[in-house]
Amino acid sequence: MPYSVFRFLFCSGLLCMLAPAQNLPTRLQECEGNQCTPGGGGGAVWTFNGKQGEARWRYGAVAKLTIERYDSDGVTILRTDIGGTSPGLTAKYTGKMTRNRIDGNVAWTWPGHWNNKTASGTWYATVVEPPASSSLPDPDVQCTPQFPGTGAEAMARAKLAFEAKNQASALCWLRTGANKGDADAQGALATMLYTGMGIPVDYPQALIWAKKAAEQGNYIGERCLSLMYANGRGVAADAKQAEYWNLKAQKDRSAALLAQQAQEQKLQAKNAQRQQTQNNIAALIMMFGVASALSGNSGGDPIERIKDLERRTADADSDCRSFGRTDGTYCGKRDDLRSDLTDARADLVRAIHDLQESHQQLTKDCSAGAQESCQKLIAVKQRLARYQEFRAADIFLGY
């Protein structure tokens, strides 16, 4: 069937309505140009709450992010640097999603730099945390009558196949979901059978699936049933039944939209709370790190945390290579540790920044005759030199 017709069917009901809020990522690991190659200075961690997000690069840049587009046809993300090493820089990232990875091009603009010209390059990112609202089905699973999953799982695979423009697979999964009792699949299948979208018209079968969907309060099925009664196709014409099902479809559609809005608000609140918790933890880490520097206490040292995570990640990687084929938890543990290690390196960069600010203030106070500040300055200098030396080695290794 023509893709535009198939898209109309899916976007005329629940399928497109439910997609936007659930498909946005909450966390990406990003690299551009040669940043993630040895000596490249390292990439970034991008975190999102809905369409808005924040990026922190390991070399110190901090930016606000806005998702303009994020679907199977393309990704567009805008960047505006608000601090760190490149305030005022803006960029536009475009790309395509393949499973959990995005590859594409980026254009940077930085007034007063690069002769006021736009620079361009390539970038890629890995989805570290997919949306909490849904799990992404494995696209390699083939559609068969023996599929052991639920109707909702089959419907999720139908959406995935639709987004990949694999219409035969999408229709197969749609039938599977309908047979397993998923109301969305039943309503969509009824509409296809009634209109002949991609399959031969079959009014008796359309009536069966429309009734099954309508019994579950699915407004797509209710609307199809209304049309069948209004036009006398597959069932005797009945104006009262047509009006009844049309009004019920409108009511249930409004209820579905309200439920979706409530779900989106709940997810946004959850993501906002999670982001705030992460920010609070990061702030505590920074505060403790500076306090440790002033007191000479090595507890909570970000360098020691990085070394510990490097050891644990190496062990987990070895276990993944040895046992990952039979037990996926080993590779999952390794991936979690890699994410923690990325965060620890970002914490080190922020600690260096905070220590530099403390160094500047203590230098002023010490010059003004504050002896206590002079004593603290010695500890800060030592800690700052140690952190910077370790960070320089990290950058050389490509982190």
Question: How far apart, in whole angstroms, are the C-alpha atoms of residue 387 and residue 100?
Answer: 34
Q: What is the mean pLDDT of residues 145-154?
A: 86
How many residues would you count in the chain?
Answer: 399
Per-residue pLDDT, 140? 60
Tokens of 274: 């999670």
Q: What is the pLDDT of residues 186-195, one digit of tens each?
A: 999 999 899 9
Other Cβ atoms less than 10 A from the Cβ of 45: the count is 19
374 and 366 in contact (C-beta within 8 Å)? yes
Distance (Å) of CA 92 to CA 25, 32, 71, 123: 17, 12, 16, 11
- The rounded mean pLDDT for the chain is 79
Q: How confident is the model at residue 399 (pLDDT cuts 50, 70, 90)?
A: low
Residue 126 has pLDDT above 70, yes or no: yes
Task: Give the three-state DSSP class for 325.
Answer: coil
Q: What is the pLDDT of residues 362-395, one digit of tens each?
A: 888 888 888 788 888 888 888 888 888 777 766 6
Per-residue pLDDT, 206? 94
Q: Which residue has the tokens 């699936």?
A: 209
Task: Spell out a b/e string for 31-40, using b for 16 or more CB atoms within 10 Å of the CB, else e.
Answer: bbbebbeeeb
**DSSP at 138:** P
Tokens of 194: 């009634």
78 and 53 in contact (C-beta within 8 Å)? no
Highest-confidence segment of 7-11, 49-53, 139-143: 49-53
3-19+136-261 and 25-129 agree in CATH topology: no
Per-residue pLDDT, 221? 93
CATH architecture of 3-19+136-261: Alpha Horseshoe (1.25)
Residue 208 has pLDDT above 90, yes or no: yes
**DSSP at 198:** S
Task: Give the three-state DSSP class for 120.
Answer: strand
| pTM > 0.85 | no
Other Cβ atoms less than 10 A from the Cβ of 310: the count is 15
Q: At what angle are helices 219-231 and 183-195 packed, to 10 degrees?
A: 30
Chain Cα centroid distance, residue 81: 21
Per-residue pLDDT, 257? 84
**DSSP at 110:** -
For the chain, give every domain's residue range: 3-19+136-261, 25-129, 277-396
Q: Which fold has domain 25-129?
A: Lipocalin (2.40.128)
Q: At what angle are helices 302-323 and 371-396 packed, to 10 degrees?
A: 20
Per-residue pLDDT, 242? 93
Question: How far apart, in whole angstroms, are the C-alpha atoms of residue 58 and residue 342?
Answer: 9
Q: What is the mean pLDDT of residues 199-214?
A: 94
